[in-house]
Amino acid sequence: MDDKRCLCLRKDDGRLDVYYDYRAISKVLNKDTLRKRAPGLWKYKELLPVNDEKKIVTLGEGGTPLLRSKRLAEKWGAKNLYLKDETRSPTGSFKDRAMTVGVSKALEFGIKTAATASSGNAAAALAAYSARGGLDCYAFVLDIAPMEKIAQLLLLGAKVLAVKGIEKGEDPTVKMLRMVVEKYGWYPCPSFGPFNPYQVEGPKTISYEIIEQMNWAVPDWVLLSTGASCLLAGIWKGFRDFQALGLIDRIPKLAAVQSDGNAPLVRAYQEKKGPFEIKAWEHPNTVAGGLSDPFPWDGDIGLRAIRESGGTAISVPDKDILEVQSALASHEGIFGEPSGVTSLAGFKRLLEMGVIKRDDAVVVPITGTGLKDPGTVLKMFRGAPQIEADMNEFESAIAEYYNLSIT
């Protein structure tokens, strides 16, 4: 093991967590060394749980841009809104950060077969990194997953199975994952911590990048689309890492945002439940399919992250999610899927409520590309009018379909 860091695992209330020797790491990792390294997730290798760098499997993940919102912020009356654009990740979502770590660790262990339970994005990421690393990949997805996500999985070589039963108030994909891991001994690599402590370390690099991209300033708020709470857990751990290293002096307020149609973590927060009192959502039903986990597997850490950071949790209706998806695309040029923009809908709501002040510095990761679920977008439109190559038909179509008059 590298003498510049120490990796430990401690079982605490059923969860395995990764701990680092910050004193040793601080001797080699500081603002100057980070400034000299190329952008990307593995520039933070000392804070990631892979010891053998030769086993790292990468597709160039990380280093996504932090864009200051202009037109959308002006529309909503916000002064300091920043968008962390994770749609530019290799497979189109932030889950690539989790799976580059999860698959790299699998190779370090000598694993041959990986399995996951997913609403789609984590499975796609695992399939891609498994293909690059030479692992067999089995993916259990919900039967409501968009065909676009399933097509991506199949092309990447995963053995995909769509599992029924989400309406029963439990996650049938997790049930299948448990069974195959027990029977075949496969490596479980979903994007939540209780089944694999390594991959949850990947998303925390978003926090590192936010701090660097803001020139070492700490934002007032970070808002996160939340399903299983893996992103919330990772982001919190990332800020805590940098605080432990003395690179920042505080942690921003963290806000979890869920859909009204599936909000188990928000309900637990609002009812002041403890981390082991969270109940599964009875009948998940939301346009944000990537957030349809009935039970937030990392909810224990999620609640702690919200409360210790002084943040909050809120749910929003599907109507708001779709409106914000459209506004983000038309005002900022970012095409996010409903799951990826749920956090932005939460920002708008909290801004209107006065919980977030208009001059607060706020970062909102857009966690997944709209190309994951174009079917939802098409339902909002009538399609494109068909015309002959004729100016009269052009002007008529513009007037009829778009209610515009060109002069």
pLDDT tens per residue, range 75-128: 999 999 999 999 999 999 999 999 999 999 999 999 999 999 987 889 999 999
In this prediction, residue 68 has a pLDDT band, given cuts at 50, 70 and 90, of very high
Which pLDDT belongs to residue 168? 65
More confident site: 351 or 275 = 351
Calculate mean pLDDT across residues 131-153: 91
The Cα angle at residue 21 between residues 20 and 23, in degrees rounded to 5: 140
Averaged pLDDT, 343-364: 98
Q: Do 7 and 49 meet the contact criterion of CB atoms below 8 Å apart?
A: yes
8 Å CB contact between 197 and 17: yes
pLDDT value at residue 4: 46
- Cβ-contact 165, 153 below 8 angstroms: no
Class of domain 66-92+200-378: alpha beta
pTM: 0.93
* CA-closest candidate to residue 137, choices 106, 118, 114: 114
- Asked if residue 192 has pLDDT above 80, the reply is yes
Give me the mean pLDDT over the 140-167 stretch: 88
Element (H, E) at 256: strand 253-259
Residue 169 has pLDDT above 70, yes or no: no
What is the model's pLDDT at position 250?
97
**Do 72 and 81 contact (CB within 8 A), yes or no?**
yes
- Run of H or E residues at 139: strand 136-142
| pLDDT on residue 1 | 40
Phi-psi region of 39 (alpha: psi -120 to 50; beta: other; left: phi over 0): beta
Residue 383 confidence (pLDDT): 82
| For range 253-281, the mean pLDDT | 96
In the chain, where does the domain assigned CATH 3.40.50.1100 lie? Answer: 66-92+200-378
The reported pLDDT for the residue numbered 167 is 61
Where does the pLDDT of residue 375 fall: very low under 50, low under 70, confident under 90, or very high at 90 and above? confident
In three-state secondary structure terms, 141 is: strand
- pLDDT tops 50 at residue 154: yes
Mean of all residue pLDDT scores within the chain: 93
